[in-house]
Amino acid sequence: MLEIAIPGAEPLRLDHLVADFNGTLAVDGELLPGAGEALRRLAEKLALHVVTADTFGRARDALAGIPCELAILPEGGQDSAKLRYVEALGAARCACLGNGRNDRLMLAAAGLGIAVMQGEGAAVETLLAAAVAVPDVNAALGLLLYPRRLVATLRT
């Protein structure tokens, strides 16, 4: 569990990290440099989940050696499927990472929604649904590895 006290807000009590794969943890089906090591470190504090359409068919291989649950979703209704996945875990106890329009619902429902903008960009609806927006996955994972960064961003 990861507990983060945010001045002027309810403390975050997180048990899960739920992340999109392509556009968030990976580009063109390849895990981004540094993401694997950061995920392994976070697995000591949070249960890791990756939810994806697996557009390039590489998620399982790319995530080999990373202790995470992988959920490959069918093409239709991915936004609702991701939301249901997070709700089943207890949305308030989840940190969620995503960039696509199909990530907006899970980011909005999560205890902590983080929008990631990389080479694919990020959907405007997803940016607006997130509590925090960052330029890349390593910045997103760094917020969880070094929670004082979140405090500086989210305090009121």
pLDDT for 75 equals 85
Q: How far apart are CA 115 and CA 24, in angstroms?
A: 9
pLDDT for 120 equals 86
pTM, entire model: 0.96
Q: How far apart are CA 63 and CA 39, in angstroms?
A: 10
Structural contact between residues 42 and 118, judged by C-beta atoms closer than 8 angstroms: no
Question: What's the CATH number for 7-146?
Answer: 3.40.50.1000
Q: Which residues of the chain have pLDDT under 50?
A: none
The chain-wide mean pLDDT, for the chain, equals 96
pLDDT for 91 equals 98
Name the residue ranges covered by the structural domains of the chain. 7-146
pLDDT for 40 equals 97
Q: How far apart are CA 84 and CA 82, in angstroms?
A: 5
